[in-house]
Amino acid sequence: MSVLRFEDVTYRYPHASVPALRDVSVDVAAGEFVVAAGLSASGKSTFLRAACGLVPHFHGGEFGGRVVTGGLDTREHGPAALSAVAGTLFQDPETQVVLSSVRAELALPLENRGHGAAAVARGVEETALALGIGELLDRQTHELSGGELQRVALGAALAGRPRLVLLDEPTSQLDPVAGDELVWLLRRLNEEWGTTIVLVEHRLERCLAAADRVLVFEAGELACDAPPRGFLEWAAERAPALATPGARLFARAGLRPPPSGVKEARATLRAHGLLGEEDGLATWPVGDSPRGALAASARVAGADPAGVARALRVAPQVGTQGGRVVGVDPAGVAGDAGAAPAGRGPARDPAPPRSERHWLRRRPAGPPPALAFRGVWHERAGGRAVLRGVDLALAPGERVALMGRNGAGKSTLLRHANGLMAPTRGRVETAGRVALLLQNPNDYFLADRVGEEVGAAALERAGLTALAGRHPRDLSGGERQRLALAIVCDGATPPAALCLDEPTRGMDRAAKGDLAADLRLAAAAGSAVLVATHDPEFAALTADRVVLLADGRPIADGPVAELLSGGWYFSTETARIVDGALLPEDGADLLRARMTVVLRP
Amino acid sequence: MQYVRRASPLHAARAPVAAGYAAALVTAVLAFENPIALAALAFAIVGAATFAGAGRILLRAALFGVPFALLIALVNPLVADQGLTVLARLGEVGPLGNVDVTLEGLTFGAILGLRALLIVLASSALLTATVDSDELLRGFRRISVRSALTAALAVRLVPVLGRDARRLADARRCRPDASARPGPAERLQIVRAVATGALDRALDVAATLEVRGYATPVPSRAPRSRVGRLRAPWSRHDLAFAASAVGLVLLAAGARLLGVARFEAYPRTVVAAGPAEWLLAVAIVLVALLPFADRRGVAR
């Protein structure tokens, strides 16, 4: 039975020169989990807005064809009527929560439909139970984190128990943990209650394993409608930018079929004898990856691939005691190395020798750092410490990714770098100006034209000269980010350090690649780059060093190859498939080398 | 700048009453031009915010309100041409024509600026910090669900825009040519950007409301739970602040009828400053702040 049907739908926004949707025909059956993919401005969000009736009732424009949602024709029924059969969730949790308390927020859609008090109360309780947000019911919405807000917004969308849920990049503003939790929640809704899910998402690796079907939009047209594996095969030929890292890894290594997730990829590799039993297992998320380090050093040394493969196969699973792990225990509790609080937690490895602690302070003398934090503390008025004695130095031209869970202190640390915040103890040293790009590029736009925001030279460097007459808010996500970057970097000389806070939120893979290239250029020009990110793929692409922050202090600091392999969250998909590589290109080299070993025993 | 439940008599009053109290202060500000009465109202607003534990929020609102007030105070002498005491002759100034800066124009500009500032403080800071918009919605939805929701959203938009403004100010400080503290022109630029962003935000919120069924036809009879709060007996704080609000409006209306607190800006500034005006000022402060004296039933 069809829950959502598009029949030859063509739609053009008011004042737009080209249609956002062209001749789209889709039939979504009840209980399906459908993922809609495509590059920015490909029409996938418009598809969703047509499904929930906002197109054309809210946006206006020219509409042709027919959309039937939950049995209701959207030409005859507006978004309010359709909300009874389809719950909708958009990107930004801030604008989707309209009332002050969580309970009122969940009750609003039910009250709007005229349900009685008992039905409203029951609906709120059931929704809270289903989504595991019971403890949030009496909280104020402004106190919630982004992940919590998004779950509350999802709860409001589900409060009327709709048969269909439409979601437009709901994880784009969330950290990986909250994003994964949301996708798992959708999977549960789909599997346990049979709710039909239509999810628009950029990070396909996150949701492909749960999907029954993938729709790909290109310039408003439906370019592909296939199961995940069929989509990945299509993407490998037609749209490599949409392929997941796992699929690109397989394509480059010449392996088939493309995997829809880590589990499938590892099973295929294991079947081909390309994955040792111990490969990638039982390694701690941080700094405990001798294979990664080995592979990286072998690559640097120019060793032959077969030799690397042999070395990897015989590498013993021993933990790296020294290196750059600064006091982390298996539970992830931060602290000075070896300084275990009495009577707490399991017995841990002996502390590293004193000579290996605080290695940052005793680095060999070289050029002065471009940016250095010296024992930086930041305590809030209530006494809570957000930063706890951070020691960190960046050399000119160095590219460092700052990672850690939400609330670890990443944004606060960046704000100290350029003086937006002052340390309560310690000091920040810089070799010159520090440019800081905050999370939302829109916050930098004060003028009506792109050309008025920065000088012509900076605009040209950013490749935006052709867009000088446009309004900054009319640019695409990637262009906005480039303009904001040009604004903070504008000046006679490049900044000594360039800091970026979560710059890839909501970006497609192509835009992320462009940004990574821009950052490498900035580093090549001598600026130290410090980027706070939740995106391991972007960190691997951009940085040569990773600092992991927890509870306001760095708990691990090391080469990217070492820190982003062998983990669950702070690890790329490639590293989770094949230990010793971070990006599909490196992984494919490694797999080809292993294939050589397998073929020549 | 957002509603946080605090231990104060104003927070203990029901939301429609607290909103009415803030509205009465705004009404009084609009009713008077006399500087003595306005000074009394300024004292009352600052005192109310302080006693309600919202002093810090008021200060933050003032940071954005003061540039507005200054702008009004500076523009008025340039556009007003009725004053007699000429302080400076600027000659032909573009589209403004022949401009004479007069003492009367300056004085009335200051009065208008002060009134704008007080309205910003009472309507944004006091209202936002002390009125639970959800409760306001529940209280008024019996009369008109749609209007109540619109009003509640408007109240909610204030803290959201406040956060936007802080983010924009931080982003401005990240520009290479930015000064540590923004001047009036830069603040105006930020306010303009916030206003532009507010339209985008309003569109997003409106789309969200649509898909939450906001435009669904309302059933003719409201469910009982919607009116439950209105039927609850009035507390002493409800009564005190309601009486204070009525008192403030009556004082303003009475003063206008009796010609107390007279102020004439042009052609020469005339400020009534007799005993009646001072009595009125004391009455305004007392009527506005007396409800805070009763802290019985307020958790400490």
- Higher confidence at residue B267 or residue B300? B267
Using an 8 Å Cβ cutoff, are A221 and A560 in contact? no
Do residue A438 and residue B170 have CB atoms under 8 angstroms apart? yes
Distance CA A79, CA A77 (A): 7
Do residue B205 and residue A442 have CB atoms under 8 angstroms apart? no
Distance CA A331, CA A322 (A): 19
Distance CA B17, CA B15 (A): 5
Tokens of residue A428, six digits: 């920040």
Using an 8 Å Cβ cutoff, are A402 and A531 in contact? yes
Residue A334 has pLDDT above 60, yes or no: no
pLDDT digit string, tens, across residues B17-63: 999 999 999 999 999 999 999 999 999 999 999 999 888 888 888 88
Distance CA A445, CA A438 (A): 12
Please provide the average confidence, as pLDDT, over all residues in chain A: 82
CA terminus-to-terminus distance, chain A: 54
Nearest to B224 among A79, A113, A117 (CB): A117
Partners of B175 on chain A (C-beta within 8 Å) are: 444, 487-488, 490
Do residue A488 and residue B176 have CB atoms under 8 angstroms apart? yes
Nearest to B156 among A53, A98, A490 (CB): A98
- Higher confidence at residue B64 or residue A531? A531
DSSP A243-277: S-HHHHHHHHHT-SSPPSSHHHHHHHHHHTT-S-T
Maximum C-alpha span of chain B: 68
Establish how many alpha carbons lie within 13 A of residue B175's alpha carbon, considering only the half-sphere containing its beta carbon: 21
pLDDT of residue A300: 34
pLDDT of residue A315: 34
- CA gyration radius, chain A: 25
User: From the CA of B118, how many Å to the nearest CA of chain A?
Assistant: 26
Computed from CA positions of residues A512, A96, A100, B58, in that sequence, does the dihedral angle turn out positive or negative? Answer: positive
Do residue B211 and residue A436 have CB atoms under 8 angstroms apart? no
Distance CA B139, CA B224 (A): 12
pLDDT of residue A481: 86
Distance CA B115, CA B31 (A): 10
pLDDT of residue A579: 82
Nearest to B211 among A54, A418, A444 (CB): A54
pLDDT digit string, tens, across residues A489-538: 887 788 999 999 988 877 888 888 889 999 999 999 999 999 999 888 99
Give SS3 for A366.
coil
Share of chain B above pLDDT 70, in %: 87
DSSP A122-187: HHHHHHHHHHT-GGGTTSBGGGS-HHHHHHHHHHHHHTT--SEEEEESTTTTS-HHHHHHHHHHHH
Do residue A438 and residue B189 have CB atoms under 8 angstroms apart? no
Among the listed residues A598, A17, A572, the one whose alpha carbon sits nearest the alpha carbon of residue A262: A572
At residue A294 the predicted structure's pLDDT band, cuts being 50, 70 and 90, is: very low
pLDDT of residue A283: 41
Do residue B174 and residue A54 have CB atoms under 8 angstroms apart? no
pLDDT digit string, tens, across residues B103-148: 999 999 999 999 999 998 988 778 888 888 777 776 666 667 677 6
pLDDT of residue A558: 92
User: What does the pLDDT average to over A144-172?
Assistant: 87
- Strand A545-550: give its sheet, edge to edge: A434-437, A497-501, A528-532, A399-403, A545-550, A553-559
Tokens of residue A114, six digits: 């005229």
Computed from CA positions of residues B22, B23, B26, B32, in that sequence, does the dihedral angle turn out positive or negative? Answer: negative
Computed from CA positions of residues A317, A321, A323, A329, in that sequence, does the dihedral angle turn out positive or negative? Answer: positive
Maximum C-alpha span of chain A: 75
Instruction: Report residue B169: phi and psi, to 5°.
Output: -65, -40
pLDDT digit string, tens, across residues A259-290: 988 888 999 998 888 876 555 443 433 334 43
Do residue A83 and residue B213 have CB atoms under 8 angstroms apart? yes
Share of chain B above pLDDT 90, in %: 34
Mutate to test the interface with B, among A88, A92, A98, A502 (most CBs of B within 10 A): A98
Instruction: Report residue A153: phi and psi, to 5°.
Output: -65, -40
Partners of A498 on chain B (C-beta within 8 Å) are: none
pLDDT of residue B205: 83
Nearest to B205 among A98, A116, A443 (CB): A98
Amino acid at B123: S
DSSP B29-72: HHH---HHHHHHHHHHHHHHHHHTT-HHHHHHHHHHHHHHHHHH
Mutate to test the interface with B, among A48, A77, A83 (most CBs of B within 10 A): A83
User: What does the pLDDT average to over B139-168?
Assistant: 73
At residue A32 the predicted structure's pLDDT band, cuts being 50, 70 and 90, is: very high
Establish how many alpha carbons lie within 13 A of residue A49's alpha carbon, considering only the half-sphere containing its beta carbon: 25
| A313 C-beta neighbours (distance < 10 Å), count | 13
- Higher confidence at residue B220 or residue A214? A214
For helices B133-140 and B145-173, angle between their N-to-C axes, nearest 10 degrees = 160
- DSSP type of residue A389: E
Partners of A53 on chain B (C-beta within 8 Å) are: 210-211
Among the listed residues A14, A13, A180, A150, the one whose alpha carbon sits nearest the alpha carbon of residue A90: A150
Using an 8 Å Cβ cutoff, are A572 and A440 in contact? no
pLDDT of residue A293: 39
pLDDT digit string, tens, across residues A434-479: 999 998 888 898 888 999 888 888 888 888 888 899 888 888 777 8
pLDDT of residue A318: 30
Computed from CA positions of residues A281, A286, A292, A293, in that sequence, does the dihedral angle turn out positive or negative? Answer: negative
pTM of the entire predicted model: 0.71
pLDDT of residue A145: 76
Do residue B213 and residue A117 have CB atoms under 8 angstroms apart? no
Residue B88 has pLDDT above 90, yes or no: no
Give SS3 for A30.
coil
Residue B164 has pLDDT above 90, yes or no: no
Residue B174 has pLDDT above 80, yes or no: yes
Using an 8 Å Cβ cutoff, are A426 and A377 in contact? yes
Do residue A98 and residue B200 have CB atoms under 8 angstroms apart? no
Alpha helices in chain B (DSSP H): 9-12, 15-31, 35-51, 55-79, 103-120, 127-130, 133-140, 145-173, 184-211, 228-231, 236-258, 275-289
User: What does the pLDDT average to over A243-269?
Assistant: 90
Q: Which residues, in sequence order, are CB contacts of B33 under 8 Å at separation 6+? A: B111, B115, B263, B265
Distance CA B48, CA B134 (A): 22
User: What does the pLDDT average to over B189-210?
Assistant: 83
Nearest to B210 among A80, A114, A433 (CB): A80
State yes or no: ipTM above 0.85. Answer: no
pLDDT of residue A319: 33
> Burial of A433 by CB count in 10 Å (0-12 exposed, 13-18 middle, 19+ buried)?
middle
User: What does the pLDDT average to over B228-245?
Assistant: 81
Using an 8 Å Cβ cutoff, are A34 and A198 in contact? yes
Share of chain A above pLDDT 90, in %: 43
- Higher confidence at residue A195 or residue A363? A195
- DSSP type of residue A353: P
User: What does the pLDDT average to over A387-407?
Assistant: 92
To the nearest 10°, the Cα dihedral for B216, B219, B224, B227?
70
DSSP A61-118: SEEEEEEEETTEETTTS-HHHHTTTEEEE-S-GGGT--SSBHHHHHHHHHHHTT--HH
Mutate to test the interface with B, among A77, A94, A111 (most CBs of B within 10 A): A111
Distance CA A101, CA B225 (A): 17
At residue B237 the predicted structure's pLDDT band, cuts being 50, 70 and 90, is: very high
- DSSP type of residue A494: -
User: What does the pLDDT average to over A67-84?
Assistant: 93
Q: Are strands A62-69 and A2-12 parallel, antiparallel or unpaired?
A: antiparallel
| B90 C-beta neighbours (distance < 10 Å), count | 12
Q: Which residues, in sequence order, are CB contacts of B257 under 8 Å at separation 6+? A: none
Hey, which residues does A72 pair with through a beta bridge? A69
Partners of A433 on chain B (C-beta within 8 Å) are: 176
Using an 8 Å Cβ cutoff, are B242 and B20 in contact? yes
- Higher confidence at residue B228 or residue B161? B161
